[in-house]
Structure 1
Amino acid sequence: MSKPKSIEEVRTLQLEELTASTARAYKSLVHPKHLELLDHINGSSVWGFGASNNNQPAGIVLGRSAVNEGQAKIIELVVAEGHQRRGMGMKLLWHAEQKMREQGISDGQFAGFIKAQDFSWLSKIAIREGWQLPRVKTYMYTLGSMRLGECHWVERLALPVGFTLFPWKDLTPAERLDIEQGEGQWYTPQLSPFFEEGKFDPDYSTGLRYQGKVIGWVIVQRMAGNLLLYKTMFVQEKYQQQARGITLLMKTIAQVQPAFPFGMCFVEHDNEPMLRFMERRLGPTILHRKLWIETTKVLVGQYSDHFC
């Protein structure tokens, strides 16, 4: 099969290399954190291809390249619902590969979020086209806290005498110093409540004290007018088996629910207890699931014309 044209038509399907102006039509398909990239598409360091059906956006692939460093990465591949299983994802991936080859990239990378329901078909395409089996690294959940009423077990949560919740803005200087000195000892740097401190919201973040000593926290970041990112949750290890962390999290969600009916959180793939909790306990509140996946392909010496 010959190499496809830059714009090809299959029935009513059109594929095109995007520019900053044409990419705007695909905003509805793109992850919010990538929206700004659409305005910076230049065909070199930031590039993309779009698929449309009857002039409606149906799929997009976005990539970033550091040509001088010989590196390039696909950061998003989306096929809209109703347009899957028609070869569109494979065509978009094909064009992305050719773009990286044209730039002299030897090793292609794919690292980005996809809808959880897309993992199966995307994995099949990736393997068929010579990519490594995609690995799930992180799970992203979007929650509707207005559905907490369906989680009847939440009503039974309570903190015993000696445990108290407090707004993170009320953290004292002495408590802050104690927590900072404990980094690397009783919590890892990744769980620091002070990481990217300028981004989080101290009014809605919550701390947990036991007998007057801070033993845990839930740090949140305001993402939109009605959406909070539950960025960091931590409770000292000796209290974890007592479900103090779960109580802290659920009390925090309940407190902010009127103002922020939607929440978002990330769970690492190897945090099996938290993944089980999300699926079994918070299942009714989960509105969307996304996966951060990673895969690679050696591009040097390969030229694929198998894209249909």
Structure 2
Amino acid sequence: MKFTLDDIRNDLELYGRLMRPEHVYLVSQTQGEHIGIGVRESSTPIAYMVVRISREQSQASIIALEVEKSYSGYGLETILLQFLEGKLKEQSYHYLTYDIVVQKSENAAREFLQPEDGWDSGQVLSTVYIADMEELKSAKWMNTIRAPLHFRTFSWAELTEEKLVSIQEGCNRWYPEKFSPWQEGYDIDHQLSVALQYKGEIIGWLMVKRAASNMALFKSLFVREEFTRLGRAGVVLVEGLKKVLENQEIRYAMFVVEKDNAAMLQMVRKHFTPYIIRRKKLISFKKSIL
């Protein structure tokens, strides 16, 4: 059986049939930081990998590695990894990471991530919680947590260009890049996403997108530190939940909480525990390639 490796950006129409829409979008951005590597048998795409490149950190991060089920067991993951590592070494990159989401109790180990090949044992970056929106309706705090005087919430779609520019200019000044509202790319739902304002200044947000037809994904919850201590993150979250509840199609909510996002972790433990129906974890494996 003969396999061919491709730069996906040169053949998006072919590989687009195999890839998830968000991965197609990332690879299609010619000025972006993502690349795609595909494997095909003859003219049939059978596997692909999406990689985020960070030249400043001399690191590449695999954010997707998918193989058609009928081709599992052919070692395509290893073929893709070896090809990628070769290209990275040519450009003097130092590190490669691979991020994977697994069930809370699932073993994250993979055959192609072996210690003898230089991979570490992995570390948990974040926890993924899935909650039942119907059950959340009955939570008392949904009606008791409200915006105090001088605080207002808006849907992201209501923000003016001036406000958006102000937020962009604040990146790495009053909020870290990893909490940027633009991190999630093209498919953020601007009607469901929420911004929090204090005395005319945007101080926080909750970005929401559709993870499935019946599920909303809550990501990038951020509130400036001095207001987080006052519990204002709860105001943003409740407003976002209420907006999602207005959509009759959405039954489930997914929350991705980074391990160092103490405010969000505390909120989940305090308010959401009775309504969580599933937990997953995002684990990152790393190796040195020089």
Calculate the TM-score normalised by the size of structure 1.
0.59
Q: Distance in 2 between matches of 1:165 and 1:68?
A: 48
Query: C-alpha separation between the residues in 2 aligned to 1:68 and 1:62?
Result: 11
RMSD (Å) for aligned C-alpha atoms: 4.2
Query: What does residue 274 of structure 1 align with?
Result: 264
What is the aligned residue count? 226
- 1:132 to 1:206, Cα distance in 2 relative to 1, 3 A: closer
Query: Is the aligned partner of 1:265 residue 2:250?
Result: no
Instruction: Report Cα offsets for 1:31-61 as digits up to 9, x if no partner.
Output: x89999998436999786979xxxxxxxxx9
Q: Please give the secondary structure, in 2, of the residue aligned with 1:139.
A: strand
User: Rg larger in 1 or in 2?
Assistant: 1
Q: Does the 8 Å contact 1:267/1:274 carry over to 2? A: yes
Counterpart contact for 1:144–1:285, Cα < 8 Å? yes
Unaligned runs of 5+ in 1: 1-31, 52-60, 72-106, 299-308
User: Aligned with 1:185: secondary structure?
Assistant: coil
Q: Report percent identity of matched pairs.
A: 24
Q: CA deviation at 1:180?
A: 2.0
Asked whether the 8 Å contact 1:145–1:254 carries over to 2, the reply is no
Unpaired runs of 5+ residues, structure 2, are: 1-19, 25-37, 51-64, 87-94
The equivalent position to 2:202 in structure 1, one of 205, 210, 214, is: 214
**1:114 corresponds to which residue?**
102
Q: Does residue 67 of the first structure (1) align with residue 82 of the second (2)?
A: yes
Q: Aligned pair in 2 of structure 1 residues 190, 212: CA closer, same or farther (>3 Å)?
A: same
Output the amino acid matched with 2:83.
N
C-alpha distance in 2, partners of 1:44/1:179?
32
Q: 2:47–2:68: 8 Å Cα contact kept in structure 1?
A: no
Q: Deviation digits for residues 108-156 of structure 1, max 9, x if unmatched?
A: 986411100224xx57x99x99885442122112222211145323332
Cα separation, 2, equivalents of 1:226 and 1:235: 27
Report the Cα distance in structure 2 between the residues aligned to 1:204 and 1:142, rounded to whole angstroms: 17
CA distance in 2, matches of 1:288, 1:156: 26
Corresponding residue SS for 2:125: strand
Name the TM-score, length of structure 2 as normaliser.
Answer: 0.62
Deviations, residues 237-272 of structure 1 (Å, cap 9, x unaligned): 221111111121112112211412222221112334
Q: Aligned pair 1:240/2:228, yes or no?
A: yes
| Cα displacement (A) at 1:289 | 1.0
